[in-house]
Amino acid sequence: MYELHIGNKNYSSWSLRPWVLLKALGIPFTERQHYFGEGPGFSTFSPTALVPALVDGATTVWDSLAIAEYVHEAYPAVWPANKAARAFARSAAAEMHSGFSTLRNICSMSVGIRVKLHDTPPALMRDLARIDALWTTGLTNFGGAYLAGEAFTAVDAFFAPVVFRIQTYGAGFELSATARAYADRMLALPAMVEWYEGGLAETQRDLPHEAEIAASGEIIADFRAK
Ligand SMILES: N[C@@H](CCC(=O)N[C@@H](CS)C(=O)NCC(=O)O)C(=O)O
């Protein structure tokens, strides 16, 4: 059985991607959770000392996109069956993997809080506009509830952290009704609800993450366990 090493559910956006993919597709795995800044460090299971890492027997896969590709070899449902949808899904997941740095920097993931940003610079608005356009293209072209068709696939998993960021920071973001409806659908997905509840239950606070968030905005609600 796969072992998936992840960080805090509240903060770890990269961990969320493969975790929600495996959960939503019903692929069995054992979760190994490690809190940021605690214990012997992530280098005990990952060559980059980063989460996520997937361990399958003697094989370690230490990057979220590589994990999606590795799991796809055993479970084809990771990517859409339709060739055009698969090309779109892979392009969009890769775009997320290597881009949207302003959104990632300003809106650090913290699923259990709500934040009013001090500032919404043009680069952040550009990232959001691109995400809106990309989501709308996928939902329109492939005609499903998810980005590349009727089924949840890896491309949805790659945008799952954006969905939580919109919930945390995005009350005032200008997003189309289509993009908002997709975000709401994702938030209602049982795998997303399970991650969210796991994040809310965590009481450990990682000071570097907390400091990043405090620099970006004012916390207006905190639903995390004390
Ligand atoms: N490209 C990597 C990025 C992984 C990454 O940056 N993980 C962060 C947390 S979400 C991490 O492990 N940071 C280690 C630390 O802060 O100590 C992937 O896709 O898996």
Give the pLDDT mean for 84-96. 98
Kindly state the tokens that stand for 14: 């990269």
**Confidence category of residue 69, pLDDT binned at 50, 70, 90:** very high
Q: What is the Cα–Cα distance from 140 to 220, expressed in whole angstroms?
A: 35
Cα-based angle 205, 105, 137 (whole degrees, multiple of 5): 120
Query: Percentage of the chain with pLDDT > 70?
Result: 100
State the Cα torsion 96-196-174-158 to the nearest 10°.
10
Note the pLDDT of residue 95. Answer: 98
Note the pLDDT of residue 197. Answer: 98
Kindly state the tokens that stand for 9: 């559910």
Q: Which domains does the chain have, with CATH numbers?
A: 2-77 (3.40.30.10), 79-222 (1.20.1050.10)
Cα(50) to centroid(ligand 1), Å? 4
User: Mutation test of ligand 1: which of 42, 51, 210 has the most ligand atoms closer than 8 Å to its C-beta?
Assistant: 51
Note the pLDDT of residue 106. Answer: 97
Note the pLDDT of residue 108. Answer: 98
Paired with 3 in beta bridges are 30, 55
Cα(190) to centroid(ligand 1), Å? 24
Residues with CB under 6 A from ligand 1: 7, 12-15, 36, 42, 50-52, 63-65
Mean pLDDT of the chain: 97
Whose tokens are 């691109």? That residue is: 130
Note the pLDDT of residue 129. Answer: 98
Cα(14) to centroid(ligand 1), Å? 6
Each residue's pLDDT tens digit, 107-145: 999 999 999 999 999 999 999 999 999 999 999 999 999
Kindly state the tokens that stand for 93: 């997941």
Note the pLDDT of residue 39. Answer: 87
Give the pLDDT mean for 50-59. 98
User: Mutation test of ligand 1: which of 14, 36, 54 has the most ligand atoms closer than 8 Å to its C-beta?
Assistant: 14
Kindly state the tokens that stand for 70: 């590795």
Cα(96) to centroid(ligand 1), Å? 14
Give the pLDDT mean for 198-211. 97
Each residue's pLDDT tens digit, 136-183: 999 999 999 999 999 999 999 999 999 999 999 998 899 999 999 999
Q: What is the Cα–Cα distance from 120 to 216, expressed in whole angstroms?
A: 9
Note the pLDDT of residue 172. Answer: 85
Predicted model pTM:
0.97
Q: β-pairing, 59-61 with 53-56?
A: antiparallel
Q: Which of 195, 172, 170, 201 is nearest to 183 (CA)?
A: 170
| Cα-based distances in Å from 24 to 37, 58, 78, 140, 181 | 29, 25, 10, 22, 19
Cα-based angle 110, 116, 119 (whole degrees, multiple of 5): 110
CA atoms within 13 A on the CB side of 15: 29
